Amino acid sequence: MIREHEPLEATLTRLAEERERADRAYNDALTALDTALLHVASLPPAPPEYDERQITPLNESFRTIAEPPTGGGLKGRLAAFVWRLVAPSLQRQVTFNAAVVEHLNRNVAAHREAQRAAAALLDVARAQIADLTAFHTRLLVYLQQITGYVDTKDRETGGRALIVNAAVNALAEDAAKRWESMAAREQRLNAQVASIAAAHEDLRAAVGIAQQATQTTRRELERLLSTRDLKVTPTGGSDRPVSPSFSSGVPQASNPLDSYKYVGFENLYRGSQEAIRERLESYLPYFDGAADVLDVGCGRGEFLDLLTARGISARGLDLNHEMVEVCRARGLEVTERDAVTYLEEQPDGALGGLFAAQVVEHLQPAYLLRFLDLAFQKLRPGAPIVLETLNPACWTAFFDSFIRDITHVWPLHPDTLRYLVLASGFPAARIEYRSPVAPQDRLQPVPGLGGDAAAADFVETFNANVEKLNARMFTFLDYAIVGSR
């Protein structure tokens, strides 16, 4: 067993000592087993057979009383008198003799069985002792062979280990050479990367200068166009109209008396404030650490609530008077104005983040382009921008949601909106698909029919077409463009 942080030489020494101790213990145990071999003492012979020679004579002669005397005369009367005197004693002797003989008769069989059992037991004991002695001897021989067997295995393993070690050493040498080569390549690569990074920084600086120059030129052109289009009033004064490039695209504020209608529309079709708040919560990590976040088209203020609860300073913007009043009633900072006008009034770099959920589809293309340009100008470097909208590439989203809302103006394909964000100067932007169509609302494939090859081909073709339709009609209802300044 290799211990952590133990030097290799110490490990090898410790393992050798452990092996020597194990060898000594094995040899001691083998010696003890050898000295403990069974030494069988001689067992006694079987007991002699039971002596039954007097059994039959005893059975025949245990009655020692003759018949009582008979006859008359003085001699007969004298014999009868004597018989009466000695007959009780003789009768007791006969009774005793009968009991002894009966006892001997009853134990003859038991004595015979005891002698036979003792003889058989001695035979079994001799056989078992002989088997045990033979097993003990074979066990000792087997244990004596283990050492040689293990040694041959060790030699075989050692030979293989030598081969493996040689291969490992060769691999190690080759790896060392490759490592030296890779280290040299890495140094060259690092030098190239450093050179590319320096060139990249120079390029970023140049691009930043070019972007700034482009913005300055653009503002100057707009100012010149605005000056050219000044209208002379009857009194000799002038007024400054909205730029002709965007006047047609500026969303018009609805009649305050009708604002409640769109609030009711959102409550009915977009979802409750709790549902929208739960859906927008996943955008919060993009704004962690930010400040001065602008929520364009804040609606009922669900995302402003989330930002405020997270400790992120934010304000909202919306054209719907009723929604603005709903937000202000909850203490939220919301301005009733269109996005382009509001952003034009802000100094460059004034915003620490910009969020717009379900807004860009309400804008005319020219107005959208102006909005994206202003967003780039007003955001600080590194500030996030998140634009969520319906996914018109999903037919379900287009037909069930986009055309339902009469305020929707222009459907934006995910690739189109991402390109416009990048073209507005943002260095990075990615598409994040959201709200997948529920599986039960997708087209379902048919199970295989089996057996018939033609039917199987039909099912395979049909299911392939189902997947193609699902890929166009039932994908994701929404998407978001996530980028940074």
pLDDT (tens digit per residue) in 105-133:
888 888 888 888 888 888 888 888 888 88
pLDDT of residue 373 exceeding 90, the answer is yes
Residue 95 CA to residue 101 CA, distance in Å, equals: 10
Strand-pair category, 334-336 with 238-239: unpaired
Residue 161's pLDDT band (boundaries 50, 70, 90)?
low
Residue 278 CA to residue 305 CA, distance in Å, equals: 11
> Quick check: 312 and 287 in contact, CB under 8 A?
yes
- Most confident range (mean pLDDT) of 41-45, 328-332, 450-454 is 328-332
Instruction: Pick 180 or 201 by higher pLDDT.
Output: 180
Helices 365-378/73-228 angle, 10° precision: 100
Q: Is 355 exposed, middle or buried (0-12, 13-18, 19+ CB in 10 A)?
A: buried
Main-chain phi, psi angles of 317, to 5 degrees: -145, 130
The pair of structure tokens assigned to 485 is 């300044």
The per-residue pLDDT for 208 is: 63
Query: Could you give the residue ranges of the DSSP H alpha helices within 229-334?
Result: 259-265, 273-280, 302-309, 321-329
The per-residue pLDDT for 481 is: 95
The per-residue pLDDT for 78 is: 84
Coil vs helix vs strand at 481: strand
pLDDT digits (tens, 9 = 90+) for 220-251: 777 787 676 554 333 333 333 333 334 334 45
Residue partners of 314: CB distance under 8 A and separation at least 6: 292, 293, 294, 295, 303, 304, 307, 308, 333, 353
Query: Looking at residues 86-109, what average pLDDT do you find?
Result: 82
Residue partners of 446: CB distance under 8 A and separation at least 6: 459, 462, 463
- The DSSP element (H or E) to which 10 belongs, if any, is helix 8-35
Percent helix, strand and coil across the chain, each rounded to 5?
A: 60, 10, 30
Coil vs helix vs strand at 395: helix
Residue 427 CA to residue 383 CA, distance in Å, equals: 12
pLDDT of residue 398 exceeding 70, the answer is no
Instruction: Pick 302 or 128 by higher pLDDT.
Output: 302
Residue partners of 269: CB distance under 8 A and separation at least 6: 401, 404, 405
DSSP secondary structure, 62-100, as one string: -----PPP---HHHHHHHHHHHHHHHHHHHHHHHHHHHH
| Least-confidence region, from 1-5, 288-292, 309-313 | 1-5
Residue 3's pLDDT band (boundaries 50, 70, 90)?
low
Q: What is the mean pLDDT of the chain?
A: 79
Query: Looking at residues 328-339, what average pLDDT do you find?
Result: 93
How many Cα atoms within 13 Å fall on the side-chain side of residue 244? Answer: 8
Helices 414-423/365-378 angle, 10° precision: 50
The per-residue pLDDT for 352 is: 95
Main-chain phi, psi angles of 295, to 5 degrees: -100, 105
Give CA torsion, residues 453, 459, 464, 467, to 10 deg.
-160
Of how many residues is the chain composed? 485
Q: What ranges do the domains of the chain cover?
A: 26-177, 258-484
DSSP state of 41: P
The per-residue pLDDT for 350 is: 93
Q: Which residue's structure tokens are 């067992």?
A: 43
Residue 139 CA to residue 134 CA, distance in Å, equals: 9
- The DSSP element (H or E) to which 355 belongs, if any, is strand 353-357
Instruction: Pick 342 or 174 by higher pLDDT.
Output: 342
The per-residue pLDDT for 241 is: 34
| Least-confidence region, from 94-108, 231-245, 298-312 | 231-245
> Quick check: 249 and 368 in contact, CB under 8 A?
yes
The distance between the two most distant Cα atoms of the chain, rounded to a whole number of Å, is 206
Query: Looking at residues 463-470, what average pLDDT do you find?
Result: 79
Residue 363's pLDDT band (boundaries 50, 70, 90)?
very high
pLDDT of residue 141 exceeding 90, the answer is no
| Least-confidence region, from 83-87, 291-295, 323-327 | 83-87
Residue 270's pLDDT band (boundaries 50, 70, 90)?
low
Domain 258-484 architecture: 3-Layer(aba) Sandwich (3.40)
- The DSSP element (H or E) to which 139 belongs, if any, is helix 73-228
Query: Looking at residues 64-89, what average pLDDT do you find?
Result: 77
The per-residue pLDDT for 248 is: 39
Instruction: Pick 140 or 26 by higher pLDDT.
Output: 26
